[in-house]
A and B are shown apart, each in its own frame.
Chain A
Amino acid sequence: MNYDRFLNQRIADVPPSGIRRFFDLAATMKDTISLGVGEPDFKTPYHIRNAAIDSLVDGETQYTANRGTPELREEISLYLSGRYGLSYSPDKQILVTIGASEAIDLALRAMTSPGDEVLVPEPSYVSYSPGVTFAGGTPVGVETLEKDDFRLTPECLEKAITPRTKALILPYPNNPTGGVMDREDLEKIAKVIAAHDLFVISDEIYSELVYGGHEHVSFAAIEGMYERTLTINGFSKAFAMTGWRVGYACGAEEIISVMNKIHQYAIMCAPRQGQVAAAAALKSGRESGYEDVLRMRDSYDRRRRLMVDAFRSMGLHCFEPRGAFYAFPSIRATGMTSEEFCSELLKSKNIAAVPGTAFGPGGEGNIRCCYATALDKLNIALDRIADFVAAHT
């Protein structure tokens, strides 16, 4: 039977994720050491897991308020004000979602009308552009270059703006490049945003994972940008809580309430135990000076240095990542494309990495390697990559 007639062609025509294809290939291999993951190698700290266990024992198995439990929204409000100087009302300006992913999807659906263009810096996380398309808009890539330390520059941003441009997705600290935006960088972007009357969806999911003396600055904290920014964050990366699926969006009441309209009909609410655990994570963090987060960040930082040093020793050019937990080395010296490099590496050395092209055409020539991997495995993986590179240069 031909199902075309029953399918929404706009959505059916979106190409499958480049990562998916690679996942299928990797799934056929055994005992692969994977640098292709996008999540911490830590388990959620036990006291956070325990909060969810207690909640189940207490019989907390019901729906929560659409916008999330009052306790969690209160904690999010305290966290964002204490950590990034942002003030959001727990009742009106915060929406708890199923991971930051849902928050991005809701934002795009709430704000995009047919014909609208949404700017997506590239390389970046795989969901943004398809999300814009699903929402009925047109994604427009904005290049970020290694010579600019993978920061978004006002020049590249200006070039991509048209009269149809409505919003910019600002994905920093960046997956996959490890680029971060310092305050001065954000201030330059803010001028362009204000001049063209645009809105910013700031995905700050890696905000706690910044290294080497850099400090995360929220875009909404830049002068004049609070009203023009939707701040998206979550618990997956900082608190090692990927499987719990809890994130949030904060911004103007007018926008949050429209997002909540979709959320309440489509989702009802984020899972209760995830919310309980998330509230426990923020509360204990507040009381302990974010001890768990800092411990994990220190551990990533050490492995970050090790990985960058290893790639450079192989003769590969490697930007020193400043945030998240990925290195994004250039493999151009091997003469292979990113896809060829990753396929061959997987087949001959049983090491999985993600081709840079999965994150947009600008990723050609690079591969993404996650350093949130146990040290012994990381060392083996880097040794094998070194052998592989030596045989191909």
Chain B
Amino acid sequence: MTKLETDLLDLLKEDCRIPLEKLAVMTGASLEEVAATIEDLEKRRVILRYAPMINWDLTDRERVEAMIEVRVTPQRDMGFDAIARRIYCFDEVKSVFLMSGSYDLLVLVEARTLKELAGFVSGKLSPLETVTGTATSFVLKRYKEEGVIFDSGDSDRRLVISP
């Protein structure tokens, strides 16, 4: 990773709508260099997408989220990858991680209702032949995600003018 690459990632992580001209000024690189570097980061799939962080609690969309600890039997030659793929292909699944510790996969699931979510676990996830057990925990409140604090209170407390 070059300094320009890490600088650009730092800046875009905070705000991916910063215009290329400003990114160039802030990093001290030329416009062309910045554009090419970003394109390259996209090509290499270092940058996967540009998406806003949304506080859904402030919208009227009904949704429930759960974290499901899943124990599986790894498959010969495939390890955990094949079963992970079987799971992450479901639309309800937002994230899947292979974990160390007492279970194997951590699956983050989102659905519109509790019933829908329960249906996913009992009807889709548990019946998979290599899944040996699940433990579902529902998300009650979101405090901080990806470095962003959700409840306000992180205001600027500095004096307006100081020497």
- Measured CB to CB, the residues of A under 8 A from B are 17, 19, 22-23, 26-27, 32, 34, 36-39, 41, 125-127, 175, 298-299, 302-303, 305-306, 309, 352, 354, 358, 374-376, 379
Q: How far is the CB of A295 from chain B (nearest CB, A)?
A: 9
Taking A298-B7, A302-B11 as contacts, is the C-beta distance between A41 and B158 under 8 angstroms? yes
Task: Mark out the residues of chain B between 91 and 120 whose CB falls within 8 Å of any chain A CB in the assembled complex.
Answer: none
Q: Which of A23, A34, A127 contacts B158 (CB 8 A)?
A: A34
Top 5 A-B residue pairs of the complex, sorted by shortest distance between their CB atoms: A302-B26, A36-B161, A38-B162, A23-B161, A309-B25
Is B52 an interface residue, CB under 8 A from the partner?
no
Which residue of chain A lies nearest to B28 when distances are taken between CB atoms in the complex?
A305
Q: Is the CB of B161 within 8 A of A22?
A: yes
A379 to B21, CA, bound (A): 13
Since A37-B162, A298-B7 are in contact, a sample of 20 more A-B pairs with Cβ atoms closer than 8 Å, ordered by chain A residue number, is A17-B163, A19-B162, A23-B162, A26-B161, A34-B160, A34-B161, A36-B161, A37-B160, A41-B156, A125-B163, A126-B163, A302-B27, A303-B26, A305-B25, A305-B28, A306-B26, A352-B160, A375-B14, A375-B18, A376-B15
B22 — which chain A residues lie within 8 A by C-beta?
Answer: 306, 379
Can you list 10 pairs linking A and B with CB atoms under 8 Å apart? A22-B161, A34-B158, A36-B162, A38-B162, A39-B162, A41-B158, A127-B163, A298-B10, A306-B26, A354-B161
Q: How far is the CB of B12 from chain A (nearest CB, A)?
A: 12
Is B159 an interface residue, CB under 8 A from the partner?
yes
A127 to B163, CA, bound (A): 9
B interface residue count range (under 10 / 10 to 19 / 20 to 34 / 35 or more): 10 to 19
A303 — which chain B residues lie within 8 A by C-beta?
Answer: 26
Q: Is the CB of A37 within 8 A of B26?
A: no
A168 to B156, CA, bound (A): 36
B26 — which chain A residues lie within 8 A by C-beta?
Answer: 302-303, 305-306
Q: Give per-residue flags for B10-52: 1 if the beta carbon is below 8 A from chain A beta carbons, else 0.
A: 1100110010001001111000000000000000000000000
A375 — which chain B residues lie within 8 A by C-beta?
Answer: 14-15, 18
Q: How far is the CB of A199 from chain B (nearest CB, A)?
A: 24
A22 to B159, CA, bound (A): 12
B163 — which chain A residues lie within 8 A by C-beta?
Answer: 17, 19, 38, 125-127, 175, 358
Q: How far is the CB of A301 from chain B (nearest CB, A)?
A: 8
A127 — which chain B residues lie within 8 A by C-beta?
Answer: 163
Q: How far is the CB of B149 from chain A (nearest CB, A)?
A: 11
B158 — which chain A residues lie within 8 A by C-beta?
Answer: 34, 37, 39, 41
Q: Give per-residue flags for B133-163: 1 if the beta carbon is below 8 A from chain A beta carbons, else 0.
A: 0000000000000000000000010111111
Q: Is the CB of A37 within 8 A of B161?
A: yes
A195 to B25, CA, bound (A): 44
The winner among B26, B27, B160, B162 for most chain A CB atoms within 10 A is: B160
